[in-house]
Amino acid sequence: MKSKFTCIECPLGCAITAEKKGDEIIVTGNKCNRGKDYAIRELTDPKRILTTTVFVENGIHPLLPVKSDREIPKNLIKKCIGELSKVRAKAPVKYGDVICKNVMGTGANIVSSCSMVRKNE
């Protein structure tokens, strides 16, 4: 079966087709090898940076934007977001503070994407 991707490795956004034939993955449409590597990763081990929000106590806003500090397996993204819905950060928070270590054993930490001061400060 052929899988189609838009390569996200550079702004050209090549339309790539990848097809598994036996042990080999045939990639077409890529203008460079980064696109081939991307397509093979997408077929065999897709990963993404997770971006979401967590609740923050005593902050000037109720939600704090966060992201993973490395890519995590795509099939764990929903579970990680579910896990993070239970997290309560506490203001003040600085950009880059670790909010959740090693989320779901992925090796990725969830860090703050912005700073947030306490209410009434």
Number of chain residues interacting with ligand SF4 (CB under 6 A)? 11
Determine which residue in the list 18, 27, 30, 84 makes contact with ligand SF4, applying CB under 6 A: 30
Q: Which residue has the tokens 């390569």?
A: 7
Task: Annotate each residue in 35-64 with x if it binds ligand SF4 (CB under 6 A) or - if it does not, as one string.
Answer: x-----------------------------
76 conformational bin, left if phi > 0, alpha if psi -120 to 50, beta if neither: alpha
| Whether 77 contacts 19, CB under 8 Å | no
Burial of 50 (0-12, 13-18, 19+ CB in 10 A): buried
**Smallest separation, CB 34 to ligand SF4 (Å):** 4
Task: Please give the distance of CA 120 from its chain centroid, rounded to a whole number.
Answer: 33
**Smallest separation, CB 36 to ligand SF4 (Å):** 7
> Under the criterion CB under 6 A, does residue 34 sit at the interface with ligand SF4?
yes
- Summarize as ranges the residues that interact with ligand SF4 (CB under 6 A): 7, 9-10, 12-14, 30-32, 34-35
